[in-house]
Structure 1
Amino acid sequence: MELTLSVIGGVWKPLILFNLLQGKKRFMELTRLIPSATQRMLTLQLRELEADGLVTRHVFAEVPPRVEYEATALARTLGPVMLSLRDWGELYRVEQQQLPATEAKCEA
């Protein structure tokens, strides 16, 4: 669990991976899809994901230069995990909205 979270954990990496699992994206597409992340943070997280073998970066020799990011085969194995996390989040949101604001606490 610790290794997995060190590779895909955090706020931005799962969001980046989730979007890239839907297909290739250019950098500005990712910034529009994840507006709360700064461009610098996205750049840093994409570099880490690339170093970990989960994202490939394709640079096209054009003017202006074009760069596309794509999930690797290894990253695509995370698809079911990402979908499960999304589904759990939706369930959690629905259940929490049914409770009065003062009772929306974890009772573990």
Structure 2
Amino acid sequence: MRSHGDLHPKNALLRSDGSLALLDWDTAGGYLAEREAVGVALDWATRVDGSFDLERFDAAVEGYREGGGKVPAEPWVFGGWARGYLDFLGRAGEEEGERTQARLGMLATTLHDLVKRLA
């Protein structure tokens, strides 16, 4: 599937008609839809401290499923999000690097529970 690849809130602008304009297409390419959906759910559910707003995570996954997508309850669907942030660590400044480490740490400690939420 061809996709944006980084549908993080920082790359979206809300238009006056309520639609989103997507910015920063430098990572566009072929992605597995399931990984893209989970990545979007995690990005839009991640708080500044790295924790996850589970209601927002569930809402994003449910929206994808309502559109006909399928998300298996398996750990591999989180791999694209984790890989993206691991790649980013090498380019991040100190402050953003710390936030990125917090995000990855939160995923590591909650992965089992997040997979169960997908079931």
Structure 2-normalised TM-score? 0.30
Task: Look at both structures and tell me which one has the larger radius of gyration over its CA atoms.
Answer: 1
Tell me which protein shows more strand as a share of its residues: 1
State TM-score, norm by structure 1: 0.32
